Chains A and B, each alone.
Chain A
């Protein structure tokens, strides 16, 4: 990156909004994944106009740009894979409008997910997508990744809650798509841009739906002595057509770590728990809870507890949502995977994950969204052992391949990013990828936005199918 670009950026944004010294950039070479890549400079825009001007400047200097929210992403989506300029939205963090009559909020991308709920909860409303990182992650990042969370089983993921976007295209043009109503004429552009991982445009303003809080919430904790019983319970709940608001599974090994850290009241001696929540009218939740409890007991739950009050419910969720942090007490580092399978294949998948763990010498924990088949195996490793990360990556690829073999997909909510770009050919044909690339090039023809993401770096997809693992490892060096 040229000195003149840094000077121009500083003159545009002020010295406090531009970082370029190596020691300042170190913080931005990581996100929540195991990937690592350092940007050449970091800028903090405050307005859409800032973003547009930065993008024009970068284009003039032919420097790539990657957008970033809080950096909590788990697939390397917000890393500067090829260097260049990182555009951090942390200072575009204002809630611009709350429209109670229409149940909409208009927010800047740097607003923290949970802050939207905090701003409207006194009016009985909330923002439904609730990633585990919701206390830190930003709505802009959620839009880029089409984030989910435990409660998206019934209420849907980010794309189901976004009705309009303001965006800056790679040439600096500011455009708006969608509408406040959410029913605009023409192609469903919001459906395309949400989840496009910052590869098509930089999102600068988001209109989100606000959801009314349910009249009744009932939270069950079902405790099992065998992982298989817990997973069969999930299969049966799905097969009976019961859709709770959330259905989470945590295995026994992870439970102990959570208990040591959070003291959420999880049993230390169980093989697995299901945390199941029902929302809606009182009559509906009572019936659902009774049906679910029946299934849990049929499949050998040794105990089914109902959270007595909000305090107890909040504590259970605190345990679930802080589980990844709790695992930090067991090993210096962990690698959180994200695969998705048909829900009926849950028992097979969990058994296979354990086999793969044994094969590569890892204990693999499982904390995941069982209700929608979204697995999050967690590989604990010590980064000081150089071969450990290498083995963790190979193990993770084997797990993801297994998900695809079962009829699943590469990622349920973390995104492809740079973590899984080389695995895309497992799921998509050359023709599929060619069309996606044409759509990419229609908006980002020079790959100046978030280069090296989603699409395999290798040239021929046939080659990738053979060399997938090697290419993936190579990309991490």
Chain B
């Protein structure tokens, strides 16, 4: 009897065979960085997840929970992967009080389905994350991936008000609640955001919801160089305009975004000049507010010597917004081999771009640069060939970028890297001084290392 069959048989005994899948073809679909699970479990209730985790803990097995699996390759490859827990069967809206603007929803519900529930009441959740069409709410939170609406609505931790999850002992635990202000007990749910499922399996999440804006609008301004574009971006912040999203694109990023727009028969009004830097702004509110913001955007664009600027048509705004929301997804597949850095810096002077471009250029590679909401820089380095030399070059780039960002008092991680590269470098970048505190948190939640072992910072 193979090890897989052995796990499968025991799982079927523990959970019932209708919940357990052992076919190789399906197992391959749940691979994380090439590592395949021994079995897939599809629970229908939170209590079943608890049973599964108790079983895993007692048998010394590991489990990785997933939703649509669109971001499962974040982090490092797992050191062990016995059970894939597909959470999509747990997908009820447990509580939605539109009048109170609070929501409690199961982890496996898709963002699209949730959007429908909320929009019927004129509300929404500002989680504009990549792979939106398939993502589940649990996956969006556990991945911690950036939302394109972060500029205005903050990170998910700012509107997540409570959670239920299975801890490493198999117990169903909760923290927070369903009220918008609450300091009862430790805010353990905040730890779950971006934890890649290493602390527990999220079963339910509580949020505050937001009213859908009356009007959406988009604006662009193009510049001849990075310094001008950055100055414009800074002037928007200094003016204190309530903007939903601000994204700055280098010429390579503009070209890639344009290609994607063309697929939906839309075009950026840039006159075909391939050397322009672009700032895209989306904003929303009432008619009067949107008009006022437009006036300010025009005025600041003139002051910043924009080559071109103007309001985007509704269709182009919507499509470009969608393209930029999905940046993580298309950037990682925009060349045969790609490393995608996510860089947070206290400040972004133009020399940072110059340096990143120089590092890539020295290795004979192109770099796509996006400055996203809250000043997060996405830098994708593209290798056009899929051979080992490309991996060597990408590896060299990573070895230079991590210390450079560290020197600038920032932090960098790799959101995407080829599997072979992950064998050489750690996607979490420079080791942090507070790693030992994170280890304490991990041990408190999951002392036996059931959840996603090895994928997180420092091998947690």
Contacts and interface: CB of A to CB of B under 8 A. Distances in A.
B456 A241 contact: no
Interface in B160-179: 167, 169, 171-175, 177-179
Interface string A408-423: 1111111110001000
A52 interface: no
A181 B347 CA distance: 8
Contacts of A189: 434, 437-438, 441
A373 interface: yes
A268 interface: no
A14 interface: no
A53 interface: no
Given A180-B346, A181-B375, A281-B292, A431 B172 contact: yes
Interface stretch (B12-20, B81-89, B283-291): B283-291
A462 interface: no
Interface string B179-214: 111111111101101110001000000000011100
A348 interface: no
Interface in A80-110: 99, 101-102
A184 B411 contact: yes
Interface string B395-413: 0000000000000011101
Nearest to A437: B444
Contact of B186 (A195, A409, A434): A195
A432 B456 contact: no
B374 interface: yes
A225 to B, nearest CB: 24
Size category, A interface: 35 or more
Given A241-B211, A373-B181, A407-B179, A192 B289 contact: no
B143 to A, nearest CB: 14
B182 A412 contact: yes
Contacts of A187: 191, 194-195, 199, 438, 441-442, 457
B117 interface: no
A197 to B, nearest CB: 8
26 contacts: A99-B346, A101-B347, A102-B346, A181-B410, A181-B411, A184-B344, A184-B432, A185-B432, A188-B157, A188-B190, A192-B188, A215-B240, A241-B210, A281-B241, A340-B179, A372-B180, A411-B183, A424-B184, A428-B174, A428-B184, A428-B185, A431-B173, A435-B444, A435-B445, A440-B186, A442-B443
Contacts of A184: 344, 411, 432
B4 interface: no
A176 interface: yes
A38 to B, nearest CB: 26
A183 B376 contact: yes
Contacts of B158: 156, 160
B171 A157 contact: no
Given A373-B181, A407-B179, A427-B185, A287 B99 contact: no
Contacts of A412: 179, 181-183
B441 A192 contact: yes
A148 B185 contact: no
A1 B182 CA distance: 36
Contacts of B293: 281
B333 interface: no
Interface in B388-445: 409-411, 413, 428-429, 432-435, 437-438, 440-445
Given A409-B179, A409-B182, A442-B440, A431 B167 contact: yes
B122 interface: yes
B444 A441 contact: yes
B457 A185 contact: yes
B457 A186 contact: yes
A65 to B, nearest CB: 19
Interface centre among A186, A191, A215, A411 (most CB of B within 10 A): A186
Nearest to B164: A432
Interface centre among A182, A183, A411 (most CB of B within 10 A): A183
A284 B441 contact: no
A342 B179 contact: yes
A416 B182 CA distance: 10
B434 A344 contact: no
B271 to A, nearest CB: 32
Interface of A: 99, 101-102, 145-146, 148, 152, 156-157, 159-160, 175-177, 179-189, 191-192, 194-196, 212, 214-215, 235, 238-243, 280-284, 286-287, 340-345, 369, 372-374, 407-416, 420, 424, 427-429, 431-436, 438-443, 454
A293 to B, nearest CB: 16
Nearest to B238: A212
State the 6 A-B residue pairs at the shortest beta-carbon distance, nearest first.
Answer: A241-B211, A191-B190, A431-B171, A183-B344, A442-B440, A239-B99
Nearest to A369: B181
B49 to A, nearest CB: 13
A432 B175 contact: yes
B184 A409 contact: yes
A373 B179 contact: yes
Given A239-B100, A287-B289, 7 more contacts: A146-B187, A181-B410, A188-B157, A283-B292, A344-B99, A413-B181, A441-B444
Interface residues of B, number: 77
B194 A157 contact: no
B174 A175 contact: no
Contacts of B288: 283-284, 286-287
Interface centre among A185, A191, A192, A413 (most CB of B within 10 A): A185
Contacts of A181: 344-346, 375, 410-411
A48 to B, nearest CB: 15
A369 B178 CA distance: 17
B21 interface: no
A428 B185 CA distance: 9
B370 to A, nearest CB: 15
Interface centre among B102, B190, B210, B428 (most CB of A within 10 A): B190
Contacts of A215: 240
A191 B157 contact: yes
Nearest to B50: A431
A303 B49 CA distance: 56
Contacts of A284: 242, 285-286, 288-289
Contact of B187 (A191, A235, A345, A431): A191
A257 to B, nearest CB: 25
A157 B211 CA distance: 20
A176 B179 contact: no
Contacts of B175: 432, 436
Contacts of B434: 175-177, 186, 189
A188 to B, nearest CB: 5
B393 to A, nearest CB: 24
Interface string B441-460: 11111000000000011100
A344 B98 CA distance: 9
A204 B190 CA distance: 22
Contacts of B70: none
B13 to A, nearest CB: 25
B154 interface: yes
Contacts of B442: 187
Contacts of B24: none
A342 B409 contact: no
A343 B212 CA distance: 19
Nearest to B171: A431
A442 B183 contact: no
A248 B204 CA distance: 31
Contact of B432 (A157, A186, A212, A409): A186
Interface string B84-114: 0000000000000111111000000000000
Contacts of B194: 187-188
A470 B369 CA distance: 62
A429 B435 CA distance: 30
Interface centre among B158, B180, B286, B428 (most CB of A within 10 A): B180
Contact of A439 (B241, B285, B441): B441
